[in-house]
Amino acid sequence: MAGKRGWPWVLERECGGVKELEYPFDSDYILKYARKIRRRLLEGNEGFLRKRIAVLGGSTTHDIIRMLELFLLNQGILPEFYESEYGQYFQDAMFGNDKLASFAPDIVFIHTCSRNVAVWPGPGDGRDAVDALLEGQYGQFVSMWDKLSDTYHCPVIQNNFEYPSYRLLGNQDASDFHGRIRFLTRLNERFYQYAESHDNFYINDINYISSVYGLDKWADPFYWHMYKYCMCMNAVPEFAYNLSNIIKAVFGKNKKALVLDLDNTLWGGVVGDDGAENLEIGQETSMGQVYAEFQNYLKAQKDIGVMLNVNSKNEEENAMAGLRHPEGVLKPEDFIVIKANWEPKSRNMAEIAGELNLLPESLVFVDDNPAEREIVRAQFPGAAVPEIGRPEEYIRVLDRSGFFEVTRLSEDDRKRNDMYKANLMREKQQADFADYGEYLESLQMKGTIKPFEPMYMARIAQLTNKSNQFNLTTKRYSQSEIEQTAASGDYITLYGKLEDKFGDNGVVSVVIGRIEKSAGKEAAEKKGAALHIELWIMSCRVLKRDMEYAMMDCLVEKCREAGISVMRGYYYPTAKNNMVRDFFALQGFTKTEEDGHGNTVWQYEIPEVYEKKNRYIRIS
């Protein structure tokens, strides 16, 4: 990995995923060679994120699980499945069983389809009767979701309904309240209202996936009547891929940034040869319109928090001239890092990753040139490099790949581009200061460190799932687990926000410590309780800003208030968190244990006089 700088990262899965599972894929191939592909995915790969997934089906789920497993493995998630008995989704959800209870799912997926709708409106029914029918069916689902959430405290994924394969009322089926299409549309709308008001609930949009697949083929009655599959076999991979995108997003495996080529990717033509004025972009020509629409799509991605960057073989001034084209939608200021030079693109990728403090696997490289894609694939493993197709296909390929699957639009997502821009300005300014302390002083940092508060629960859960490098134990939490931890009296929880003159970084650090009450001999000797630090994470973008010390200071203070006299820190090495191997030593802890795997335990006796370590952040 020549040319890489920045963090001491090690690739989690050196050989990355398998190309056959990347969109656009060949479903027949995947179905046929599933066993072989699975073997390859498991061979020599370690460091999978292990997750338990309960699949509660209203129809056959065997091949759905088989395909879902492949796509999740390809995302670095090693799933273990619970599969309900045929059609037992409702019974399993409402009444449970020992097997499901002991399985303790990390996520529950309810696989229902329009074949599972029990009662339909009759032609003679009045409006009130149909409304009651609708609410009755919706109510059954709500009681199921509520029950699951209360029992398992984990995210629930629910299919919406695909359209039925025939229309008794013809076109009126869509608009008349007796029509099945209308009935399902209304039922779906009720599902979405529930999704809007429940944080850990996600819709798997099979209505969309079945329509892009082609409803007639999707709903092939052969598969229902022969095997009780609600879709044809060939559609299963598309279905499972779409579902896997939600799951990987929930577990923090989304991509974060696009790295874009310029010539024939963002516009038609070669700016260095043709001149900026002759590029195809804008409303003048058909191809110009295609590229303008693509730029529009990318701009919209930026608005939901995807970071845009450029990696182009060009003189920088030519690249900038192209980006300033009056008909262009994307302007130079829409990008975080622009690399326009004659270096190998794989080297530029490494530099961009370094400047953004991102891992290779967080990047998506988009280039019309297959040779450049191949170089990046070979020399910069981990990054996604989609087979982007022809210009008129760019949007579909990127969109359906689901790299940036949204689970919940947060304020942080929308502001992410601004935050990273501010970070780059900080780095530029840092170069102007002779002394690092002087630089930190100049940032005028203000921090807020407090126990978990309701408005930050989603962000805190998100951070626990996304942080890989500055993460001592790599323990992952769902939002409901975070909420339970905060509510329990057995834990000290802290989140840290950091602001400076360039902008607000939002919540950047989280610590969770479990209180162990002293008992017996220790209590008799009047020794205080102990705190086990189960989680300590920080966003790498605020590294070396004193934030880790500010968190320590606050933790010590909270321990004192709770009568805790000793803290125990734990470090569990992964392929990615080497940078914090000696973190506890830095904080003044002493190593007390180390096993053969490099797992270490640290101890810190809180002194009578504790000198605060943070010097540059004003804490409120």
Partner 1 sequence: MTREEVYGTLNEVFRDVFDDASIEVEDSTTSEDIEDWDSLEHINLIAAVEQEFGMKFSMGQVVTMKNVGEMVDIILSQIAD
What are the residues binding partner 1 (CB under 8 A)?
A: 28, 31-36, 39, 60, 62-63, 66, 222, 225-227, 229, 233-234
Q: Closest distance between partner 1 and the C-beta of residue 83, in Å? A: 11
The amino acid that residue 265 corresponds to is: T
Residue closer to partner 1 by CB (options 34, 585) is 34
Radius of gyration of the chain (CA): 27
Enter the tokens of residue 371. 């040779």
Q: Closest distance between partner 1 and the C-beta of residue 27, in Å? A: 9
Residue closer to partner 1 by CB (options 45, 410) is 45
Residue closer to partner 1 by CB (options 237, 506) is 237
Residue closer to partner 1 by CB (options 7, 241) is 241
Instruction: Give the 3-state secondary structure of residue 75.
Output: coil
Q: How many residues does the chain have?
A: 620
Q: In terms of Cα–Cα distance, which of 110, 123, 116, 111 is closest to 182?
A: 123
Q: Distance between CA 491 and CA 489 in Å, rounded?
A: 6
Q: Closest distance between partner 1 and the C-beta of residue 220, in Å? A: 10
Residue closer to partner 1 by CB (options 56, 564) is 56
Q: Answer for the pair 410, 459: CB distance below 8 angstroms, yes or no.
A: yes
Residue closer to partner 1 by CB (options 104, 226) is 226
Q: Closest distance between partner 1 and the C-beta of residue 226, in Å? A: 6
Beta-sheet strands, E only, within 342-432:
363-366
Residue closer to partner 1 by CB (options 38, 532) is 38
Q: How many CB atoms lie within 10 A of CB 131?
A: 14
CA atoms within 13 A of residue 142's CA, in its CB half-sphere: 16
CA 292-318-270 angle, 5° bins? 55
Q: Closest distance between partner 1 and the C-beta of residue 229, in Å? A: 8
Residue closer to partner 1 by CB (options 58, 381) is 58
Widest distance between CA atoms in the chain: 85
| φ, ψ at 161 (rounded to 5°) | -105, 135
Q: Closest distance between partner 1 and the C-beta of residue 66, in Å? A: 8
Report the interhelical angle of 180-197 vs 127-152 (nearest 10°): 40
Q: Closest distance between partner 1 and the C-beta of residue 4, in Å? A: 37
Q: Closest distance between partner 1 and the C-beta of residue 50, in Å? A: 24
Q: Answer for the pair 388, 482: CB distance below 8 angstroms, yes or no.
A: no
Q: Distance between CA 252 and CA 248 in Å, rounded?
A: 6
Q: Closest distance between partner 1 and the C-beta of residue 221, in Å? A: 9
Q: Distance between CA 240 and CA 333 in Å, rounded?
A: 38
Residue closer to partner 1 by CB (options 237, 360) is 237
